[in-house]
Amino acid sequence: MGKKKSDKKALSEKMSMAVPADLVGIDPAKLRKQKIKFKKAVVRVSAYDVEAYVFTINSDEEMLDLYVKAPVICSLAASGVLKTSCLFDNVEIPFFAGKPGPVEIYWDKENQEEDAGAQKEQYAEAMLCYKNLLEQFSGIIGGIAFHLHIGGEGDVREPFPDSPRCIHIFCNKVPLGEVSLYYRSTAFNLPLSSDGKQAICLNSVPGRGIAVKDDKKPVVQILGSNFYFLAPIIKCFNAVTSGVIFIKLLSASWKAYQQSQKAKKSKSAPLKRKAFMDAAFDWQAGIPEFLEKKLVEDKAQMDIAFREIMNLQSKIRDAVALLDSLKASGYSKNIRSRVAKEWKKITALSDVSRLAVVENGLHVFTKPIVIKWEGKSYDMGSYVIRINKCGYISVWSENSTHPQGVPHPHIGKETGACYGNATEAIIRAGTEHRYADAFAYIIRWLKYGYTAELTLVKIEEWPVISKISAAALTVADKEKQEVAV
């Protein structure tokens, strides 16, 4: 054999390979005794940072020698099971892993088979996604078994006894202790749900195990070989981002787990009197500041909850009105009998520009709307009013004239329309499919429903139309109406 090459050169020529550090059958002491050259290091496999044994081989003879002295590596290379690549010292080298260990899903529904069956159907997509990811990860880290626990009553689940070759994962659960909840819409800066709404998450339980954070709050709690995922990754399954979030949770958990295993070997120093007194004094001094911060956070969550309640109340009100209309006798017959008249009445409305049927709904496109207020005429731009096939009404502006794009003093950019006293008449007209009345009510509300006391965005923020332009617009509308007649 010629002169041995350096590790770096061997790496660059792909004369190295890596295997999981947790793979059964690899004895580091035995390898050293047999003078096999290796290094234990953290390598990057897919999206995971895992510990591995990196073997540097300088010749075919050394490769053969490695296979003879380490049969487990020989079997891996021969089978090619989960052969991929990893990054080590910024160089890509082959990575061999064993077969994945068993991945089991438990629904934690004792004596409630019907509920468990319903959950399996409801969460089938999430379970398939997570099981595949766990199987891939199990192969990468040496075939460790995973038990994924779903469902069950309450937020608390005590850990299983520590096991080096079996990991238990609990979804949206914590161990016994000081349990607290909070709201969040993202994890690792990725949306938890497809609608982006806030979801109820669990805080890590203080004083138990290791808590792992993303850039904001705890997302995982580790107790022995038990991983508690604190975000609702099952109920809020999002086909776009949930898989990525799960990978990040798994990676963070595994890293913390390995650190916890190493920490077991070192005993912590006994607590001394001074350290105890310092901690107690600090807690007492910090209580007012803690309570002030907690009050701000709780008020913010109350505001979110109130908005959700208002949104639900609006939906309930709409649903009740629709239900009342559907129960009315002769409902369908009455609608069909007046459809032709409805068309004529809608096209006769002077502020209607055109109509269109769009995705199971009727759209009315208005002409530019003008609000007259305290001797001035304000240009509001035109609007689209939609009534869908169920009678639900929505209205928006596609060319707002407001400097910040606010649609209307009583239509928020995020909160939608507030019809005020006209609410009942508008909703009833929509649910009864009195299209002409509904469009007329909305247009009248757009033009004449402005109430300065009930809006944060005042009409004065919209552009003013000159008197000459306003007069010309009025004359033009009259002429068009006469032609139509």
Kindly report, residue by residue over 398-434, the tens digit of the pLDDT.
888 999 888 899 987 766 788 888 888 998 888 788 8
pLDDT of residue 270: 72
pLDDT of residue 420: 85
Considering the domain delimited by 331-484, tell me its CATH architecture.
Roll (3.10)
pLDDT of residue 268: 57
Cα within 13 Å of Cα(276), Cβ side: 5
Q: How confident is the model at residue 284 (pLDDT cuts 50, 70, 90)?
A: low
Q: 140 near 189, Cβ under 8 Å?
A: no
DSSP assigned state of 177: S
Tens-digit pLDDT profile for residues 339-365: 778 888 898 999 999 998 887 888 999
Q: 443 near 366, Cβ under 8 Å?
A: yes
- pLDDT at residue 127 greater than cutoff 60: yes
Q: 151 near 108, Cβ under 8 Å?
A: yes
> By C-alpha distance, which of 228, 226, 224, 218 is closest to 174?
228
Long-range pairs, 321-327, Cβ under 8 A, ≥24: 321/427, 321/428, 321/431, 322/390, 322/391, 322/392, 322/431, 324/431, 325/391, 325/428, 325/431, 325/432
Tell me how far apart the alpha carbons of residues 182 and 218 are, in angstroms, rounded to a whole number.
11
Q: 125 near 246, Cβ under 8 Å?
A: no
pLDDT of residue 104: 92
Evaluate the CA torsion angle 310, 314, 316, 320 in order and state its sign.
Answer: positive
- Average pLDDT value for the chain: 80
Question: What pTM was computed for the model?
Answer: 0.54
Residue ranges of alpha helices (H) inside 123-241 are 124-140
Domain with CATH 3.10.110 in the chain: 331-484
Both tokens of 115, joined, read 């509920």
